[in-house]
């Protein structure tokens, strides 16, 4: 909702989402209930299955705003079900190379008036995520578990809030105007090169472990998890670590027949 732009809101959430794809993050935090770290073989399999096709995700994102542009530029007299279906098929063909696995007309943003004409914000946000990551890697060498990253995000992205336009926020943190260079470079990275670099980061992550253990984590806030009116757990009782353990046990009990 105004005055917050989609690009600004998603820039932050999608940046945090990107960390869960990093082998450096997985090596530190991705553990099973027994505390065993996710095996490298699983991480490698995921990279091999997704990286060569990551450009298809970009094309799927681009297809939505291109379709919306054509839709809202269409004279009302020409609007019909047949025209919509034809335009959607043409955009899928031109942008994605053929019928999409997620048909354009199934994208809820197109169908809901409150979400119409803003899907391009996701594209801008993803572009800024890659530019932000490239900046941090060039300046600090690492992102995961790096206090400098949290400090810069707080000062440059979060604290200004809606008082600073999105493009100015990105330039203020990265020192560059928003561009697709970092995203294109990531898409074009050789698979074997990516696997080599990610394995090195994974091994560093496993060796280092989390800088802050869950039982010692302090977000400077109270966390309440509720089921309707019932309080499931409260971080004020025994901290965030105890809250997570209690919530995990509660979910486990609920999932058992």
User: Between 123 and 5, where is the model more confident?
Assistant: 123
**pLDDT class of 112 with cuts at 50, 70, 90:** confident
Q: Write down the pTM of the prediction.
A: 0.87
- The secondary structure of residue 95, as a DSSP letter, is I
The answer on pLDDT for 2 being more than 60 is no
The top-scoring range by mean pLDDT among 65-79, 108-122, 200-214 is: 65-79
Task: Quick: pLDDT tens for 151-207.
Answer: 999 999 999 988 899 999 999 999 999 999 999 999 999 999 999 999 999 999 999
CB 216 within 8 A of CB 241: yes
CB 11 within 8 A of CB 128: yes
pLDDT at site 3: 67
Domains defined for the chain, CATH in brackets: 6-208 (1.10.1370.10), 212-257 (no CATH)
What is the distance of C-alpha 6 from the center of its chain?
Answer: 13
The pLDDT > 70 percentage for the chain reads 99
pLDDT at site 151: 95
**pLDDT class of 233 with cuts at 50, 70, 90:** very high
Burial 57-80 (b: 16+ CB within 10 A, else e): ebebbbbbbbbbeebeeeeeeeee
Distance between CA atoms of 216 and 220, rounded to whole angstroms? 12
The pLDDT > 90 percentage for the chain reads 77
pLDDT at site 57: 92
Which tokens belong to 216?
A: 């010692």
Using a 10 angstrom Cβ sphere, with 0-12 exposed, 13-18 middle and 19 or more buried, the burial of residue 13 is exposed
Distance between CA atoms of 127 and 238, rounded to whole angstroms? 40
Task: Quick: pLDDT tens for 72-99.
Answer: 999 999 999 999 999 999 999 999 999 9
**pLDDT class of 44 with cuts at 50, 70, 90:** very high
Distance between CA atoms of 222 and 114, rounded to whole angstroms? 32
């Amino acid at each position: 909702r105004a005055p917050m732009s989609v690009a600004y809101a998603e820039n932050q959430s999608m940046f945090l989402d990107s960390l869960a794809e990093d082998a450096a993050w997985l090596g530190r935090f991705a553990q099973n209930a027994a505390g065993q770290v996710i095996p490298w073989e699983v991480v490698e399999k995921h990279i091999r299955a997704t990286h060569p096709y990551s450009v298809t995700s970009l094309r799927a994102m681009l297809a939505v705003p291109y379709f919306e542009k054509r839709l809202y530029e269409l004279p009302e007299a020409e609007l019909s079900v047949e025209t919509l279906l034809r335009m959607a098929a043409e955009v899928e063909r031109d942008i994605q190379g053929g019928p999409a696995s997620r048909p354009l007309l199934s994208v809820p943003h197109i169908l809901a008036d409150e979400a119409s004409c803003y899907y391009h914000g996701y594209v801008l946000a993803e572009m800024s995520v890659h530019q932000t990551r490239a900046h941090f890697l060039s300046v600090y060498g690492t992102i995961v578990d790096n206090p400098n990253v949290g400090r810069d995000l707080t000062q440059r992205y979060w604290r200004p809030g809606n008082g600073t336009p999105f493009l100015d926020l990105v330039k203020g943190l990265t020192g560059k105007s928003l561009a697709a260079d970092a995203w294109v470079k990531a898409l074009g990275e050789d698979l074997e090169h990516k696997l080599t670099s990610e394995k090195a980061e994974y091994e560093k992550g496993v060796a280092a472990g989390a800088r802050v253990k869950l039982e010692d984590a302090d977000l400077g806030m109270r966390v309440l998890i509720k089921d309707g009116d019932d309080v499931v757990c409260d971080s004020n009782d025994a901290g965030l670590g105890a809250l997570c353990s209690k919530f995990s046990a509660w979910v486990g009990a609920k999932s058992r027949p």
